[in-house]
Structure 1
Amino acid sequence: MTLFILLLVGAYLLGSISFAVLLSHLRRLPDPRSLGSGNPGASNMLRLGRRPLALATLLGDLGKGALAAGLGQLAGLDDILAAWLGLAAVVGHMLPVFHRWRGGKGVATAAGVLLVVSWPSAIFCLGFWLLLFAWQRIASLASICACLALLPWLAWMAPELFMPLGLMSLLILLRHQLNMRRLLRGVENHFRR
């Protein structure tokens, strides 16, 4: 139990590293939370015209979710406990202690968690996300729908992981409330074709 608690704290702290903010700072660029959508994530970095930084942000955020869950597996924990560690990393991304609690939405970090604890779920969500994004060119809509689709998928294909990964999806949906309002008003940001 002590090991799990230490890993939980470590996963949260790992998740608290904001690669968008860190990379922008290293490149002497403005804080991405003050520009575009205000979200420190890969989509906003891409929207701001910084493709290499967007890719680095995506890989960093994905990697920290995968690392948090992977460290649990290396410590001998089962996939369920590893998923709880992944959830801690996602919470860290959303409410980062290192960045005054102003974090992102957690989609890429959650994808990293899924890759480690349930790669079929990761492939399912990625496929769902890509189809919706190709159709509408709205990253938030694709993310919201992928999170919603993950819930019945987990209930059917990986019910033992439903609690931690379902909670992860619900937290991501909560972080997308403003996006949902903009979608309903028809004013959400699109990526140009």
Structure 2
Amino acid sequence: MFWLVIAYLLGSVSFAVLISRVRHLPDPRKLGSGNPGASNMLRLGNRSLALATLAGDLGKGALAVALARYAELSSLQQGWVGLAAVGGHILPIFHRLQGGKGVATAAGVMLVLCWPAALIAAMLWLTTFYWQRIASLASLLAALSLPPALAWLAPSLLIPVTLMVLLILLRHRLNIGRLLAGVENRFRP
């Protein structure tokens, strides 16, 4: 339970919001897509702040699982810790439960839990984004690749990671609607 709370609190740190405050910029939850994540920071026109947000969100997911590994928790327990970190990002206690979509934090979690699955998801994300220029589509396909990859690579992680994917899908429900309607936002080259 201790590590789940620590992971949730780590996940609750919103790097997009913190970086915006430090740089005296508007709250990213009130601009662009309204999402406090790297894609919205990029959409708002600042590539370096988007990269810093991505690094922070990846890092907190990776750190949560790395701490659990250091504490010698089992692989399955590390999976639950990773889920708690992603849950913290999506519903952060420090930011009135107004969080991001969890994709970058999940990527950090997966880098430590099972890096080959993370690599598969990252390659799918990059290929999809290059082809369609839609971050939400790339994120959804990358997330959906995780359960089949883990069924093959690390079956013990299947339950917590599948729940993590379901959280990400739920958080993307409006994006899914826009994708089905053909009106989802594209990044312009």
In structure 1, what is the equivalent of residue 176 of structure 2? 180
Residue in structure 1 matching 2:155, options 135, 159, 162: 159
In structure 2, what is the equivalent of residue 81 of structure 1? 77
Give the structure-2-normalised TM-score.
0.98
Aligned mates of 1:56, 1:161 — CA distance in 2: 29
- The alignment status of 1:96 with 2:92, answered yes or no, reads yes
Amino acid at match of 1:61: D
Q: Deviations over 1:8-60 (max 9, x none)?
A: 10110010000000100111110000000000000000000011110000000
Q: Counterpart of 2:56 in 1: which secondary structure?
A: helix
Q: Counterpart of 1:36 in 2: which secondary structure?
A: coil
Q: Deviations over 1:111-135 (max 9, x none)?
A: 0000001000000000011110110
CA-CA distance at 1:146 after TM superposition: 1.1
Aligned mates of 1:98, 1:185 — CA distance in 2: 34
Matches within 5 A, 1:33-182: 33-182=29-178
Give the structure-1-normalised TM-score.
0.96
Amino acid at match of 1:23: I
Spell out structure 1 runs of 4+ moving beyond 2 A: none
Q: Percent identity?
A: 67
CA RMSD of aligned residues (A): 0.8
In structure 2, list runs of 5 or more residues that go unmatched.
none
| Corresponding pairs, count | 189
CA-CA distance at 1:184 after TM superposition: 1.2
CA-CA distance at 1:157 after TM superposition: 2.1
